[in-house]
């Protein structure tokens, strides 16, 4: 029987979260937690989003967007169907261009 992964404590918006993580991945977990904490603090400091849950969702959406952009830059040609096509931008009441 293998030993369980040790718990590592991360702080996000001042709250501590114990997370089970293999020792060889702890550094990356700490970096990810710090990155998430920074994103959530940026969103909270705008004053436009209130509530930890909403801040977390907005941070997750922003990080997912960054990930998709990085993936698109690293893959020269998109595979059809991999991501939905970007809808045309509609500004105000004007029809899409």
How many CB atoms are located within 10 Å of the residue 59 CB?
Answer: 23
- What pLDDT is recorded for position 92? 54
Between CA 19 and CA 60, with CA 36 as vertex, the angle to 5 degrees is: 105
β-pair partners for 84: none
Instruction: Please state, in angstroms and rounded to a whole number, the distance separating the CA atoms of residues 93 and 81.
Output: 29
22-73 tens-digit pLDDT: 999 999 999 999 999 999 999 999 999 999 999 999 999 999 999 999 999 9
- What pLDDT is recorded for position 3? 77
- What pLDDT is recorded for position 75? 80
Between CA 70 and CA 74, with CA 72 as vertex, the angle to 5 degrees is: 70
Confidence of residue 97 (pLDDT cuts 50, 70, 90): very low
- Reading the block at residue 78, the tokens are 């998109």
Does 17 score more than 70 pLDDT? yes
């Amino acid at each position: 029987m293998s030993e369980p992964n040790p718990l590592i404590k991360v702080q996000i918006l001042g709250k501590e979260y114990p997370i089970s993580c293999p020792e060889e991945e702890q550094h990356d977990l700490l970096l990810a937690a710090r990155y998430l904490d920074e994103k959530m603090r940026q969103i909270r400091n705008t004053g436009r989003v209130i509530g930890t849950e909403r801040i977390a969702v907005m941070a997750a959406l922003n990080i997912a967007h960054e990930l998709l952009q990085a993936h698109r830059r690293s893959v020269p040609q998109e595979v059809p169907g991999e991501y939905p096509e970007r809808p045309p931008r509609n500004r105000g009441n004007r029809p899409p261009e």
